[in-house]
Amino acid sequence: MKTEPGEFSFDDLVAAPRSQHHWDGVRNYQARNFMRDEFKRGDLVFIYHSSVAEPKVMGIAEVVREAYPDSFALDPKSPYFDPKSEATGESRWVMVDVAARSRMSQPVTLATMREQPTLQGMALLRPGQRLSIQPVTKDEWDIVVSLGKPCPLLKGQGQRSPRKS
DNA sequence: GCCAACGTTGGC
DNA sequence: GCCAACGTTGGC
């Protein structure tokens, strides 16, 4: 999941109370469909900083709530307001909730990933790709993890969500 | 700040 | 339904 750290950084997610773990503002159908169709509770995702001097994977988060309507699309005051959703009275966009789980002790830069022969097929590295939500294969995941050496966050940073069953 | 790659929009 | 114009993303 990409984010511009000036808007919402990995550290912001780490510090955020549970009520602010929603990943809102995704306004692309393909990205939306990934969240709606693929994201399951307990799934892990990379959090990637884009549109910065050194784009990089910052850490790992866990899906703690599956897709539900992104109500910001209906809020005229929101930067993510969507008139077409408002016209139907129903948001056509979804968000998920994620909680920070671990931080890369060595954030994995885009440049580093480009250097890996084993990552050449990765969606993120495709020229011109702009999707803010992208698939990662198991192999790609393992390679990025081995490069980043994630450390679990301490309790109180990136809160644990109570399990119901 | 540039620009390539796309997605979206809207006229026809 | 085509497609040109336009807007946005995001690396560089």
β-bridge partners, A104 = A150
A130 sits within 7 Å of strand B by its CB: yes
What is the number of other CB atoms lying within 10 angstroms of the CB of residue A86?
14
| Residue scoring higher pLDDT (A162 or A113) | A113
What pTM does this model have? 0.90
Task: Indicate the helix (H) or strand (E) that contains A88.
Answer: helix A83-88
Instruction: Name the CATH architecture for the domain at A2-22+38-67+96-149.
Output: Roll (3.10)
Mean pLDDT of A94-105: 97
Residue pLDDT, tens place only, A79-91? 898 888 888 888 9
Give residue-wise pLDDT tens across range A39-81.
999 999 999 999 999 999 999 999 999 999 999 999 888 889 8
Report how far residue A65's alpha carbon sits from residue A22's, in angstroms, rounded to the nearest whole number. 9
Which nucleotides on chain C have any atom < 7 A from a protein Cβ?
A: 8-12
Q: Read off the pLDDT band of A155 (50, 70, 90).
A: low
Check: CB of residue A30 under 8 Å from CB of residue A38.
Answer: no
User: Parallel, antiparallel, or unpaired for β A2-3 and A44-49?
Assistant: parallel
Nucleotide of closest approach to A130 (CA, C1'): C9
Give A45's Cβ-side CA count (13 Å radius): 29
